[in-house]
Amino acid sequence: RHASDREFFGHPRGLVGLFFAEAWERFSYYGMRALLLYYMYDQVADGGLGIPADTARSLVAVYGSATYMAAIVGGWVSDRLLGDRRSTLLGGVLIMCGHICLALPAGATALFVSMVLIAAGTGLLKPTISSSVGDLYGGNDPRRDAGFSIYYMGISVGAVAAPLVVGTVGETYDYHLGFGLAAFGMAIGLVVYLGIQRNLSAASDRPKNPLRLAEVPRGRLVTVVSVFVLVAIGLVGSAVTGVLTAGGVVNLISLVAIALPITYFTVMLRSPRVTEAERARLRGYVPLFVAAVFFWVIQEQGATVIAQYAAESTDLDAFGFAVPASWFQSVGSFVLIVLTPLFAVLWLRLDTSARPPSTAHKFGVALVIAGLSYVLLVLPSAQAGLAHPLWLVGSLAIVTVGEMCLSPIGLSATARLAPAAFATQTMGLWLTAGSAGQGIAAQLVKFYDADSAAGYFAVVGTGTAVLGLVLLAAAPLIRKRTDVAA
Ligand code: GLN
């Protein structure tokens, strides 16, 4: 009898542990993220780095893009070398080191080193911990969707607390102290994970498709290693000589973020390890993935454009005390936690109804809603003076309803549709939707400024809503490919 058979409220026990471990990891990530923009653009005299706001917005976006981009590499390392459990642990340690870097008053250098460490760490941890959730359930276990919703609530518990704790301390006392708290949160997450790892499925213990070095053609090995070494030398060299500016880093990451999933889909679709049935499902997954990319373009601007809108264009004294701007980053997760039980009932009703909505329907609705959350902001932005904070709260609440139609469902659909040989890597691929989204956002946010905010929100919001309508129209075609029993 396997450890993961023991149940907790009708779910495998391992789920509780993963819930809390991921909650603490997300606490560290979103705590750091709640401060990042302000830390970058604040004047040096005020403890910031004094980076111009537009560059800072793009940098925050590519920072996020890099963390999810690395999930592809992390997924590969897990599938071929380490397995999920070890990758998660190693990732947690790297993330903690990244936050410690930011906690040291070491300026822009520490910022870039932290970005490398947190990207590598999150790349290892995020896909592997999500895939461990999927592995708690057997092939057609009907509880998997619910399991991912519960797990997603863990993400949100961490994400709601982080800005309130890390954000408040960082904004009111000292940025580095705030980042230090993020490191501390990751340390707690690691302790939790060490305690619960025995409750995971045996599948988390070993690589799913172990790499046997003897089987790899020598030529290919040499090519891959050489390319890695050359790219590393090129990057370090151009950074040291000053050829690679902050703007250069932004454009480079944007480009890679878009190219990566395209390449990866191509590799998977062509791989001899993928069966014909798996290939057909994967093709149906592509439009879902594209929808997710555009959803994250909007949702992830919570830490860039919306963070700046909160600090600059919102009346933070409207409630009679000075609300720290970072608190707005808790709104979405708070709404998500409140609505999760409601959505659990809603999905159960809809999914068992005579005409259950397909994954593509849910994603289409998510996009339309995300677009509307921006359209709502056109009104207060078009008026003179500071906006009442409730506008922003309303917009963040709306985009979160979209998130509930897309993000947990996407995780579950990914676990269901992943070709066996690429199990954890497909989870990594799903995360690169967030990477590509932020890569695109890194370019888009350059067009934002407080004076023309109404136009920005109108164009980006309407564009996204239209994309959602297109997806809704195409949904019946996509359903045929993706919503079959695996
Ligand atoms: N908010 C979710 C998380 O942190 C998903 C983020 C994403 O995929 N871009 O896990």
For ligand 1, atom 6, the nearest C-alpha belongs to: 434
pLDDT at 3: 45
pLDDT at 277: 87
Provide the mean pLDDT of the chain: 90
- Cα gap 162→327, rounded to integer Å: 9
pLDDT at 465: 97
- pLDDT tens digits for range 392-446: 999 999 999 999 999 988 988 887 888 877 777 888 889 999 999 999 999 999 9
- pLDDT tens digits for range 154-183: 999 999 999 999 999 999 999 999 999 999
pLDDT at 485: 43
- pLDDT means per 10 residues, the chain with 486 residues, are 58 91 97 95 92 94 93 90 94 97 92 93 94 85 82 93 96 95 97 92 85 81 85 79 82 94 91 88 90 97 94 93 93 94 87 87 96 96 93 97 92 82 81 95 95 95 96 85 55
- Cα gap 75→82, rounded to integer Å: 10
pLDDT at 484: 53
- pTM confidence score: 0.91
For ligand 1, atom 7, the nearest C-alpha belongs to: 434
Nearest-5° Cα angle at 47, 45 to 50 = 70
Reduced to 3 states (helix: H, G, I; strand: E, B; else coil), residue 10 is coil
Going from the Cα of 294 to the center of ligand 1, the distance in angstroms, rounded, reads: 13
Identity of residue 199:
N
Burial of 159 (0-12, 13-18, 19+ CB in 10 A): buried
Pocket probe mutation, ligand 1, options 33, 95, 155, max atoms within 8 Å of Cβ? 155
| Strand partners of residue 11 | 8
Going from the Cα of 137 to the center of ligand 1, the distance in angstroms, rounded, reads: 22
Residues framing ligand 1 (Cβ under 6 A): 26, 68, 155, 296, 300, 407, 431, 434
- Cα gap 51→41, rounded to integer Å: 5
- Cα gap 386→381, rounded to integer Å: 8
ipTM score for this prediction: 0.96
Q: Taking the chain, what is the end-to-end CA distance rounded to the nearest angstrom?
A: 25
> Does residue 324 contact residue 171 with C-beta atoms inside 8 Å?
yes
Q: Work out which ligand 1 atom sits closest to the CA atom of 430.
A: 8
